[in-house]
Amino acid sequence: MRLPNWLHKLASPPHFYRIAGRIEPWMLWSGLAAIAVGAFGGLLLAPPDYQQGDAYRIIYFHVPAAYLAMQLYALMAIGSAIGLVWRMKLAYAISAATAPVGLAFTGLALATGMLWGKPMWGAYWSWGDARLTSVLVMFFLYLGYMLLHASLEERSTADRAAGILAVVGVVNLPIIKFSVEWWSSLHQGPTISRLAAPAITWDMLWPLLVMIVGAVLFSLAVTLTRARAEVLLRERGARWVRDVVAVGA
């Protein structure tokens, strides 16, 4: 199977560097604006919950963080898979750029979940819950990817070894998603799903959706910025990089 031509064109490092540089500010600022609107709506406009009172408002950070943690893992793994099969260097660069962003969002999801768990469940953490454990496994997969990548001297070897780890870890994604449905768990089931009406009223839901959109845009902007830096570093001997650096653009 061949990759489509437009993808090959986009994958040329100078082309990617230019396009990404043009998109990135738009994503960053619209993402930050959406996060501001969503946070305002979620923290101030949305009504308190009938049982949890104001404590439920942590979902406006917890849910987007957890969602992004998984999406970014998928992005990292797809980049690695494309790199492994098609030997596309840019795909590896994007994977390497994604890992720390995903790690940060996973850490945020774990931290906000624990802060909510103490007052609501009565415990920060409970070993034995499949959702909590599988997300912690994802945290270590991100960390393992970064450590493995950093520990190998030769960049192409590092890309391949860490890439295999990223692809293997994909098995964990469905486990995270369905853990609360396959097994009994402490963590509640999904509130928003594609198949059922959301189990949350609209005035509480819209800020959450805005926050998710904002978090997606923001995280992609950060990932693109990191990927551009990664491309410059990896192509530092190339002529186009010298031109870019000389102009200062």
Partner 1 sequence: MTPRRRRMVAMTGGLVCLVAATALVLTAFEQNMLYFYTPTQIAAGEAPEGRRLRVGGLVEQGSVRRTPGSLEVRFDVTDLDQTITVAYAGILPDLFREGQGVVAHGLVSTDGLFEADEVLARHDENYMPPEVAEMLEERGHPPDASLR
List the x/- string, 65-94, binding to partner 1 by CB under 8 A: ----------------x--xxxx-------
Under the criterion CB under 8 A, does residue 136 sit at the interface with partner 1?
no
Q: Which residues pair with 53 in a beta bridge?
A: 49
Residue 171 is given by DSSP the state G
Taking the complex as a whole, the smallest distance from the CB of residue 48 to partner 1 amounts, in Å, to 7
What's the CA gap between 242 and 188, in Å, rounded? 53
* Contact pick of 111, 148, 200, 213 for partner 1 (by CB under 8 A): 200
Under the criterion CB under 8 A, does residue 188 sit at the interface with partner 1?
yes
Footprint of partner 1 on 145-184 (CB under 8 A) = 167-168, 170-171, 175, 180, 182-184
Under the criterion CB under 8 A, does residue 30 sit at the interface with partner 1?
no
What's the CA gap between 157 and 131, in Å, rounded? 33
Q: Which long-range CB contacts under 8 A does 230-236 form with residues at least 24 apart?
A: 230/93, 230/94, 230/96, 230/97, 231/13, 231/16, 231/17, 231/90, 231/93, 232/17, 234/13, 234/89, 234/93, 234/155, 235/13
Are 106 and 139 in contact, with CB atoms under 8 Å apart?
Answer: yes
Nearer to partner 1, 46 or 220 (CB): 46
* Contact pick of 78, 126, 206, 213 for partner 1 (by CB under 8 A): 126
Q: What's the full length of the chain, in residues?
A: 249
* Positive/negative CA dihedral, 218, 223, 226, 227: negative
Q: Tell me the one-letter amino acid at 216.
A: V
Nearer to partner 1, 95 or 219 (CB): 95
Nearer to partner 1, 123 or 150 (CB): 123
Under the criterion CB under 8 A, does residue 189 sit at the interface with partner 1?
yes
Taking the complex as a whole, the smallest distance from the CB of residue 51 to partner 1 amounts, in Å, to 7
Nearer to partner 1, 19 or 84 (CB): 84
Nearer to partner 1, 37 or 180 (CB): 180
Under the criterion CB under 8 A, does residue 26 sit at the interface with partner 1?
no
Are 3 and 83 in contact, with CB atoms under 8 Å apart?
Answer: no
What's the CA gap between 147 and 135, in Å, rounded? 18
Q: Residues interacting with partner 1, by CB under 8 A? A: 1, 47-52, 56, 59, 81, 84-87, 119-123, 126, 128-130, 167-168, 170-171, 175, 180, 182-186, 188-191, 199-201, 203-204
